[in-house]
Structure 1
Amino acid sequence: MPDIRWGAAGELSRADSWGSPVPSARLAPCPFAPKASSRAWCGRSAVSTLEVPGVPAAPLSYREAWALIEARGQSILPDLARVEALVELLDHPQATYPTLQIAGTNGKSSTARIIGAVLAAHGLTAGVYTSPHLQSIRERYLLAGPVTEPSGAAGVLLDAIPPDEFAALVQYLLPFVELVEERTGQRVTYFELTTVLAFEWMATHSVNAGIYEAGMGGAWDATNVVPSSVAVLTHVAVDHAAMLGPTPLDNAREKVGIIKPGASVVSTVQDPDVGQLVSATAADAGANLVVMGRDFHLRADELALRGRLITVEGPAGGIYEEVFLPLLGHHQAVNATLALAACEELIGRPLDAGAVEAGLASVTSPGRMEVVAREPVVVLDGAHNPEAAAALGRALQETFGRRERTFVISIFEDKDIEGMLAALLPSATRTIFTRNSNPRAAAPEALAEVATRLGFKSELVEPLAEAIETGRRAAGEHGIVVVTGSLATAGEARTLLVGPVE
């Protein structure tokens, strides 16, 4: 596997398994890279493309490419066999740039986006791969890069993969996918294909760093073939209990699987038994573990207008005082602290304070305590487990005080509905249960039954659009409408209230 090293001025050098530089003649331009891009190199051996038949002559449209991926469904196979076979055929595109990997129960997407923005503010190009998406599959693929503002100040540009580039990459990968399916006798899953597309896409753009959010668990997650030099662990609670187990420790046993030998591990404060597991796993792997509250710190966190004002001390000694973070909720201050620590561990030194300020100022996290309308205020949040629901309740109380809150809720039927409602409903003045369009959505009647058992009144309104309008009328100009229960609910609401992104 190629060895990737940081060189002078943040550049990368690539060496083969013998430590010799790879001649540039061995690097082939990707046949489907955007022609206008001077950075469009696959960074892999040209001979690997000869191992499978050529791609179809007729180009796929973006809609066709998306439909081909959606047709694979949401099945999960808990092993890496198909992904490992794919990246072997592709000559390991995920190994041509430094990588960070993020696992945990909540906060992974926000943390990934913050890391990307901060690295971009330091002049680096970062690829960011997150899941699931809210409105468009292209949201999973973000390129963060430095720009100069009209004022002359340094800024950050965060762009989703263009539709034609997405379609071309899907078409390029299909013959490899078919060959792997032929050889293994197993179907490459939706998430495996979208993840390998991210590997290839980032290599095509010669990113300085690739940031990968684990989709579920860690050890057998498709992202876990990246040779991550930095592993980031957000707080581990319980989600996907049928797959990961009923306790935080059960979940953690899968999530610590992202820790690689000799890597840096950046962890928030965990439950005691989870913390012990993280420490033991890092020690066994010879990894360097830095823990929030011990090796790096959130020194101050205050509510500010449309965000937070935070002071962070990093593990490399950097101190970033009273920096504005345009995200709501204390949990986002924790995510930002993890992100800054991860950036220090990747770069190996304190960060530039001005770049930290510019990077954090550029951060967005759609569908996470996101205000999308006013009079009344409408908040979208993708909380989909009890821990996230509790964090939402605390953030609403801190941000909006005692203002009346109407909740519009749709939850997937395979989630911990009782645990979520027990955390959410004490914050609600009025509750409306509805149903998003995902087949996994629980019936509103089932949600109402649980609410009644918990001692809360509710009403039922379908579809989601009508439920939101009912909530807005009930809230009046001075109330708050909170649309939550799943990322699918938040995404559909965002399309209704902000507009489609396609």
Structure 2
Amino acid sequence: MNYQETLEYLYERLPMFTRVGASAFKKDLHNTIELCKQLGDPQHQFKSIHIAGTNGKGSTSHMLAAIFQQAGYKTGLYTSPHLLDFRERIRINGEMVPTTFVAEFVEQLKPTIESLEPSFFELTVAMAFQYFALEQVDIAIIEVGLGGRLDSTNVITPELSVITNISYDHMQILGNTLPEIASEKAGIIKSGVPVVVSETQSEVESVFTDKAKTLGAPIHFADQEWIVQQSEFAEGRLKLGLQHSHNGDLKTIHTDLTGQYQMKNIMGVLSAVKILQHAGWELPEQTVMTALSHVKKLTGLRGRWEIISRDPLTIFDVGHNQAGITEVVQQLEHMVYRHLHIVTGFVKDKEVSKVLPLFPSAATYYFCKAQIPRAMDEKELAEAAHQHGLRGHDYPTVQQAFQAAKQHAHKDDIVLVCGSFFIVAEVM
């Protein structure tokens, strides 16, 4: 099979959470362990950092990858889902895995795929681990797919674990309360391995401290270690002044990540870097600052408050749950514009009744549906939105909705595309 045939085989053969939802989630690590065993356990052949959380884990992963890469380490990066190209999930020093490797890997494992019947994600994780092992990376940044405890990535023993934050998402799998969700995310904490929690949340703080204490894992809450002295957003860049609460260390950070919400993620990254420096990783301060100013260029990160064009200002953001949309709306409050146009769509398993009230009622909405089985019907979404005072029209495709928004927008308006990775991906 060539690369395109390989992808078609994977999409048709393997259940994919991003397309079909919870039915693709395997509630144990058996398949991943078996796949890795057949490959010679590649997950133990490289050093890693493991990152979980409801929001911000992708940005945090890319920032850490950029720092190691800038410092001269051969750096693997595994993230999900992808926006445009499957190979975005698996990178080394910002370069996507070659198509030939993907095709050859699947061909090699085809008998196992057909007997074991792993999920799409389980196979992708095994592929990433094999690629990183064969390429002998110095370090791999591994982003959890969903949860933590039972996530396919949770077969590694990392140098450091990072948990960004906890919010309501995937409750049908992870639990209905924040402590239940936190308990699943805390599953990545390993015996004796330091853990950074980016954001202190009173409802779940004890979940992490208790788990860390039980396992003898040193725990650090990043927002207790850093004090924000300055925060500016201008010309598509975020400028932060942070002071370390213990030693008074001052840092001025200019980053190409444009969302105000990146502040919490950056504090988590800085706390992670301090721990890694003490562990012997050579991550000079200037290297860290340079990397944070060029994250997109170094790692290929997209879809986080990404400014696509101006006149009108057009922004893509993959925010899709309560916490993510809250951050997006708060960012809008810092913006000056004449009128706001929002292109949005959701997947069926999101609790849209909790998300829709967060959106500004003064905007014009363009409700649409991504071309995946899991997508929520655009007419159903529009009806639900109208009940929350949101006004607009529905469109059968994302492209039609986006074109309508652009046609109606004045040059001083904002066009925002959000609600789902798949909505953003189809516009791209």
| TM-score, L = length of structure 1 | 0.79
Match of 2:132, SS state, is helix
Cα distance in structure 1, aligned partners of 2:155 and 2:247: 31
Per-residue deviation, residues 151-195 of structure 1 (Å, max 9, x unmatched) = xxxxxxx211122232223333334545xx3xxxx5211100000
Identity level (%): 29
Please show how residues 330-409 of structure 1 align to structure 2 within 5 Å: 330-348=260-278, 351-364=283-296, 365-398=301-334, 400-409=335-344
Cα distance in structure 1, aligned partners of 2:248 and 2:47: 22
User: Does the C-alpha gap of structure 1 residues 101 and 403 become closer, same or farther in structure 2, counting only changes over 3 Å?
Assistant: farther
User: Does the C-alpha gap of structure 1 residues 454 and 333 become closer, same or farther in structure 2, counting only changes over 3 Å?
Assistant: same
Give the alignment's Cα RMSD to 1 decimal: 2.0
Counterpart in the other structure of 1:152:
none
User: Which of 229, 246, 252 in structure 1 is aligned with 2:182?
Assistant: 252
Please show how residues 284-299 of structure 1 align to structure 2 within 5 Å: 284-299=214-229
Cα distance in structure 2, aligned partners of 1:208 and 1:362: 21
Bigger mean CA deviation after superposition, 278-287 or 309-318:
309-318
What is the CA distance between 1:292 and its match in structure 2? Answer: 1.6
Matched letter for residue 435 of structure 1: K
Cα distance in structure 2, aligned partners of 1:408 and 1:386: 17
What is the CA distance between 1:370 and its match in structure 2? Answer: 0.8
8 Å contact 1:315–1:341 — kept in the other structure? no
Counterpart in the other structure of 2:19:
none
Cα distance in structure 1, aligned partners of 2:142 and 2:294: 20
Matched letter for residue 234 of structure 1: T
8 Å contact 2:28–2:150 — kept in the other structure? yes
Bigger mean CA deviation after superposition, 82-91 or 483-492:
82-91
Cα distance in structure 2, aligned partners of 1:441 and 1:425: 23
What is the CA distance between 1:353 and its match in structure 2? Answer: 2.1
Match of 1:101, SS state, is strand
Per-residue deviation, residues 211-261 of structure 1 (Å, max 9, x unmatched) = 111111100100000111211001101101111122211111111000000
What is the CA distance between 1:335 and its match in structure 2? Answer: 1.2
Counterpart in the other structure of 1:321:
251
8 Å contact 2:35–2:123 — kept in the other structure? no
Per-residue deviation, residues 339-367 of structure 1 (Å, max 9, x unmatched) = 23223323426842220122112212311
Cα distance in structure 2, aligned partners of 1:123 and 1:73: 38
Counterpart in the other structure of 2:423:
489
Counterpart in the other structure of 1:419:
354
Please show how residues 124-139 of structure 1 align to structure 2 within 5 Å: 124-139=73-88
Counterpart in the other structure of 1:456:
390
What is the CA distance between 1:320 and its match in structure 2? Answer: 5.9
User: Does the C-alpha gap of structure 1 residues 289 and 439 become closer, same or farther in structure 2, counting only changes over 3 Å?
Assistant: same
1:93 aligns with 2:39: no
Cα distance in structure 1, aligned partners of 2:198 and 2:134: 33
User: Does the C-alpha gap of structure 1 residues 351 and 320 become closer, same or farther in structure 2, counting only changes over 3 Å?
Assistant: farther
What is the CA distance between 1:301 and its match in structure 2? Answer: 2.5
Bigger mean CA deviation after superposition, 318-327 or 75-84:
318-327
Cα distance in structure 2, aligned partners of 1:319 and 1:473: 49
1:109 aligns with 2:39: no
What is the CA distance between 1:198 and its match in structure 2? Answer: 0.6
Counterpart in the other structure of 2:403:
469
Cα distance in structure 2, aligned partners of 1:235 and 1:420: 18
User: Does the C-alpha gap of structure 1 residues 478 and 402 become closer, same or farther in structure 2, counting only changes over 3 Å?
Assistant: closer
Counterpart in the other structure of 1:73:
15
Counterpart in the other structure of 1:173:
109
What is the CA distance between 1:143 and its match in structure 2? Answer: 1.4
Q: How many residues align?
A: 414
Counterpart in the other structure of 1:43:
none
8 Å contact 1:290–1:296 — kept in the other structure? no
Cα distance in structure 2, aligned partners of 1:484 and 1:321: 32
8 Å contact 1:102–1:112 — kept in the other structure? yes
Cα distance in structure 2, aligned partners of 1:337 and 1:270: 11
Match of 1:449, SS state, is helix
8 Å contact 2:29–2:150 — kept in the other structure? yes
User: Does the C-alpha gap of structure 1 residues 408 and 474 become closer, same or farther in structure 2, counting only changes over 3 Å?
Assistant: same
Cα distance in structure 2, aligned partners of 1:413 and 1:230: 35
Higher relative contact order (CA 8 A, sep 6+): 2
User: Which of 406, 410, 427 in structure 1 is aligned with 2:345?
Assistant: 410
Q: Between Structure 1 and Structure 2, whose CA radius of gyration is higher? A: 1
Cα distance in structure 1, aligned partners of 2:40 and 2:241: 42
8 Å contact 1:169–1:201 — kept in the other structure? no
Cα distance in structure 2, aligned partners of 1:229 and 1:177: 31
5+ residue gaps, structure 1, are 1-59, 145-157, 495-502
Per-residue deviation, residues 325-345 of structure 1 (Å, max 9, x unmatched) = 111222112212212322332
1:233 aligns with 2:163: yes
Cα distance in structure 2, aligned partners of 1:317 and 1:194: 42
What is the CA distance between 1:313 and its match in structure 2? Answer: 5.0
Match of 2:4, SS state, is helix
8 Å contact 2:236–2:307 — kept in the other structure? no
8 Å contact 1:315–1:345 — kept in the other structure? no
Cα distance in structure 2, aligned partners of 1:313 and 1:197: 40
Matched letter for residue 103 of structure 2: A
User: Does the C-alpha gap of structure 1 residues 319 and 194 become closer, same or farther in structure 2, counting only changes over 3 Å?
Assistant: farther
Cα distance in structure 2, aligned partners of 1:413 and 1:459: 19
